[in-house]
Amino acid sequence: MSSADAVHGESNIEKTSALDIHDAEGKEVNFGSLFADKKVVVVFIRTYFCGVPEQVSRDQGSGTSPTFRERI
């Protein structure tokens, strides 16, 4: 098994899909519901209180709606 298989394995996807997260308004949302009906790209950025990842996040969001960009 490659390390990619271990990270992206069905078991890990099922486990994370069952988790509840908070949306931009603070409401609890099931994580799996975000990608249950469509294909999406999920990017996790761990910032460690550094401005560089914040700028990368803003740059990556430049193709998104203004409302979304204001929230990141």
What does the pLDDT look like over 16-39, one tens digit per residue? 899 999 888 889 999 999 889 998
Mean pLDDT of the chain: 73
Secondary structure string (H, E, C) spanning the chain: CCHHHHHHCHHHHHHHHCCEEECCCCCEEEHHHHCCCCCCCCCCCCCCCCHHHHHHHHHHHHHCCHHHHHHC
Res 46 pLDDT > 90: no
Band of the pLDDT at 58, cuts 50, 70, 90?
Answer: low
pLDDT at 60 exceeding the cut of 70: no
Contact partners, residue 22, CB within 8 Å, separation at least 6: 28, 29
Higher pLDDT, 22 or 60: 22
